[in-house]
Amino acid sequence: FTSMGARKDLKTYFIKGLRETSDLFDQSTDLLLEKGLYIRAPYISYPTKTDFVDSHKYFSGFSLLGKQRPLNAIEISHLYMNSVTNHIGSKLSLSFAQVSPQEEIQNWMLRGRDISRKHMRVFTRILLNSDIESPISPDVAITDATTPPFSDKLVMFHMAMLSATGTGNYATAASASQRSDLIINYERLSLEVALYAKDGA
């Protein structure tokens, strides 16, 4: 909104929110590093020579005769981040399903968990096929609690927001990726998330 709004009070409010979110992110990252729980992005070795794209084959992700080109740094970054966010979504979905008293919501949450796991497998396979280790997360255990800490309305809203954010992440990743197989994967996975969110709505 800050780039579209003209009202001073609204711009001030959103800019304040952005600052607070940035501060919270900074504190969270520092705490995770201190506790040894921060999930680090894959290491990419520093290039020793300059290389330029000199063929349309660079954009092709499918090759029946030749080998796919290696992932570039931007593509790796998006695959990594989408793996991490799906891991978080998987754990949240399972947690929310466990504490909801309504079977319909439990089933919807478990479907979200299954979708997240499937997407993680897709992204992990692509990284591993390029000899890049997938993100390693700390062992996040879910307790056996069944008392709902939040209302079903709140958890449904939260999952709807996560689904919308995930779709946005996939769109950003597709537009930044240059291998056609990655773009196709992001588009088909986005459709699956959109159908899931529609059912939730």
On whether both 183 and 88 belong to a single domain, the answer is yes
CA atoms within 13 A on the CB side of 23: 6
On whether both 192 and 94 belong to a single domain, the answer is yes
Q: What is the pLDDT of residue 65?
A: 55
Instruction: Please determine, for residue 28, whether its predicted confidence score (pLDDT) is greater than 90.
Output: yes
CATH number of the domain to which 130 belongs: 1.20.1260.10
* Span 63-78, pLDDT tens digits: 555 577 889 899 999 9
pTM, two decimals, is: 0.83
Q: Give residues with Cβ within 8 angstroms of 15, minimum separation 6.
A: 2
User: For residue 58, is it within any domain?
Assistant: no
| pLDDT classification of 6: cutoffs 50, 70, 90 | confident
Into how many domains does the chain fold? 2
On whether both 103 and 191 belong to a single domain, the answer is yes
User: For residue 26, is it within any domain?
Assistant: yes
Q: Provide the residue range defining the domain that includes 34.
A: 1-38
DSSP letter at 151 equals: -
The label of the residue with tokens 């399903």 reads 97
On whether both 178 and 94 belong to a single domain, the answer is yes
* Span 138-162, pLDDT tens digits: 566 778 888 888 899 999 999 999 9
User: For residue 103, is it within any domain?
Assistant: yes
Instruction: Please determine, for residue 136, whether its predicted confidence score (pLDDT) is greater than 90.
Output: no
On whether both 18 and 80 belong to a single domain, the answer is no
